[in-house]
Amino acid sequence: MDMPVLTLSVSAQLDDLYLIAICHRRGIKSLRDLTPEHLPLLRNILWEGQEAILQRYQVRADRLRVFLHYLPSYYHLHVHFTALGFEAPGAGVERAHLLAEVIENLEHDPEHYQRRTLTFALRADDPLLTLLQEAQKS
Protein backbone atom coordinates (compact mmCIF):
# COMPACT_ATOMS: atom_id res chain seq x y z
CA MET A 1 0.00 0.00 0.00
CA ASP A 2 1.20 3.50 -0.74
CA MET A 3 2.18 5.26 2.43
CA PRO A 4 2.09 9.05 2.43
CA VAL A 5 4.99 11.14 3.58
CA LEU A 6 4.07 13.90 6.01
CA THR A 7 6.20 16.97 5.47
CA LEU A 8 6.15 20.15 7.49
CA SER A 9 5.15 22.86 5.07
CA VAL A 10 4.63 26.17 6.83
CA SER A 11 4.82 26.18 10.60
CA ALA A 12 5.38 24.00 13.63
CA GLN A 13 3.29 26.34 15.82
CA LEU A 14 0.15 24.50 16.91
CA ASP A 15 -2.16 27.47 16.24
CA ASP A 16 -1.09 27.61 12.61
CA LEU A 17 -0.08 23.99 12.08
CA TYR A 18 0.13 23.23 8.36
CA LEU A 19 1.33 19.85 7.10
CA ILE A 20 1.09 18.16 3.72
CA ALA A 21 0.87 14.42 3.03
CA ILE A 22 2.46 13.67 -0.33
CA CYS A 23 1.51 10.39 -1.97
CA HIS A 24 4.33 8.19 -3.28
CA ARG A 25 2.09 6.81 -6.00
CA ARG A 26 2.40 8.59 -9.33
CA GLY A 27 -0.40 9.20 -11.81
CA ILE A 28 -2.99 10.68 -9.46
CA LYS A 29 -2.89 14.31 -10.52
CA SER A 30 -6.03 15.73 -8.95
CA LEU A 31 -9.44 15.09 -7.47
CA ARG A 32 -10.67 14.25 -10.99
CA ASP A 33 -8.48 11.12 -11.09
CA LEU A 34 -9.87 9.59 -7.89
CA THR A 35 -11.96 6.41 -8.08
CA PRO A 36 -12.97 3.72 -5.55
CA GLU A 37 -9.64 2.02 -6.34
CA HIS A 38 -8.02 4.85 -4.37
CA LEU A 39 -10.20 4.50 -1.25
CA PRO A 40 -7.65 2.42 0.73
CA LEU A 41 -4.98 5.02 -0.04
CA LEU A 42 -7.23 7.95 0.90
CA ARG A 43 -8.35 6.29 4.15
CA ASN A 44 -4.72 5.54 4.98
CA ILE A 45 -3.71 9.16 4.40
CA LEU A 46 -6.58 10.36 6.60
CA TRP A 47 -6.16 7.91 9.47
CA GLU A 48 -2.37 7.64 9.51
CA GLY A 49 -1.97 11.38 9.03
CA GLN A 50 -4.28 12.13 11.94
CA GLU A 51 -2.50 9.57 14.12
CA ALA A 52 0.96 10.91 13.24
CA ILE A 53 -0.15 14.46 14.07
CA LEU A 54 -1.66 13.31 17.37
CA GLN A 55 1.56 11.52 18.32
CA ARG A 56 3.92 14.29 17.26
CA TYR A 57 1.95 17.47 18.04
CA GLN A 58 -0.80 16.23 20.40
CA VAL A 59 -3.47 17.70 18.09
CA ARG A 60 -6.61 15.55 17.94
CA ALA A 61 -8.38 14.71 14.67
CA ASP A 62 -11.38 16.87 15.64
CA ARG A 63 -9.04 19.90 15.74
CA LEU A 64 -7.80 19.38 12.17
CA ARG A 65 -9.02 20.39 8.73
CA VAL A 66 -7.94 17.74 6.19
CA PHE A 67 -8.50 18.64 2.55
CA LEU A 68 -7.43 18.55 -1.10
CA HIS A 69 -7.39 21.54 -3.42
CA TYR A 70 -9.18 21.71 -6.73
CA LEU A 71 -7.54 23.03 -8.77
CA PRO A 72 -4.36 21.82 -7.06
CA SER A 73 -1.23 23.94 -6.76
CA TYR A 74 0.75 21.06 -8.32
CA TYR A 75 -0.52 17.98 -10.11
CA HIS A 76 0.60 15.16 -7.79
CA LEU A 77 -1.81 13.90 -5.13
CA HIS A 78 -1.23 15.71 -1.85
CA VAL A 79 -3.45 16.33 1.16
CA HIS A 80 -3.36 19.34 3.48
CA PHE A 81 -3.64 18.98 7.27
CA THR A 82 -4.18 22.27 9.09
CA ALA A 83 -5.15 23.35 12.58
CA LEU A 84 -8.88 23.99 12.56
CA GLY A 85 -8.51 27.64 13.58
CA PHE A 86 -5.79 28.41 11.06
CA GLU A 87 -6.99 30.26 7.96
CA ALA A 88 -4.66 28.53 5.52
CA PRO A 89 -4.46 29.74 1.93
CA GLY A 90 -6.94 27.81 -0.20
CA ALA A 91 -8.82 26.38 2.77
CA GLY A 92 -12.08 28.10 1.78
CA VAL A 93 -15.07 26.41 0.21
CA GLU A 94 -14.20 27.65 -3.28
CA ARG A 95 -11.08 25.47 -3.41
CA ALA A 96 -10.88 22.99 -0.52
CA HIS A 97 -12.55 19.57 -0.56
CA LEU A 98 -12.57 17.79 2.80
CA LEU A 99 -10.90 14.39 2.54
CA ALA A 100 -13.62 12.68 4.63
CA GLU A 101 -16.24 13.96 2.17
CA VAL A 102 -14.14 12.91 -0.83
CA ILE A 103 -14.01 9.38 0.62
CA GLU A 104 -17.77 9.36 1.25
CA ASN A 105 -18.53 10.68 -2.24
CA LEU A 106 -16.47 7.89 -3.82
CA GLU A 107 -18.17 5.28 -1.63
CA HIS A 108 -21.60 6.43 -2.86
CA ASP A 109 -20.76 7.13 -6.51
CA PRO A 110 -17.67 5.56 -8.09
CA GLU A 111 -17.58 8.20 -10.85
CA HIS A 112 -18.41 11.18 -8.67
CA TYR A 113 -15.33 13.21 -9.56
CA GLN A 114 -15.42 12.32 -13.23
CA ARG A 115 -19.07 13.45 -13.60
CA ARG A 116 -19.45 16.30 -11.16
CA THR A 117 -19.11 19.95 -12.09
CA LEU A 118 -16.42 21.35 -9.81
CA THR A 119 -16.34 25.11 -9.44
CA PHE A 120 -13.23 27.04 -8.46
CA ALA A 121 -12.07 30.62 -8.25
CA LEU A 122 -9.36 32.08 -10.47
CA ARG A 123 -7.38 35.28 -10.00
CA ALA A 124 -7.94 37.96 -12.64
CA ASP A 125 -4.33 37.51 -13.84
CA ASP A 126 -4.48 33.69 -14.01
CA PRO A 127 -3.50 32.41 -17.49
CA LEU A 128 -6.21 29.75 -17.22
CA LEU A 129 -8.86 32.47 -16.93
CA THR A 130 -7.61 34.03 -20.17
CA LEU A 131 -7.75 30.65 -21.93
CA LEU A 132 -11.29 30.00 -20.69
CA GLN A 133 -12.46 33.45 -21.77
CA GLU A 134 -10.95 32.96 -25.23
CA ALA A 135 -12.61 29.54 -25.54
CA GLN A 136 -16.01 31.05 -24.69
CA LYS A 137 -15.64 33.54 -27.54
CA SER A 138 -15.14 30.79 -30.13
Overall average pLDDT of the 125-135 stretch: 78
Active-site amino acid positions: 78
Residue range 27-82, pLDDT digits in tens? 899 999 999 999 999 999 999 999 999 999 999 999 999 999 886 777 789 999 99
Closest CA to 82 of 14, 30, 23, 4: 14
Domains, the chain, ordered by start:
5-137 (3.30.428.10)
Amino acid (one-letter) located at 63? R
If you compute the radius of gyration of the chain from its CA atoms, what whole number of angstroms results?
A: 16
Q: Which residues contact 41 (CB under 8 A, 6 or more apart)?
A: 1, 2, 23, 25
Burial class (CB in 10 A: 0-12, 13-18, 19+), 46: buried
User: What is the C-alpha to C-alpha distance for residues 72 and 78, in angstroms, rounded to an integer?
Assistant: 9
Which pTM value belongs to this model? 0.78
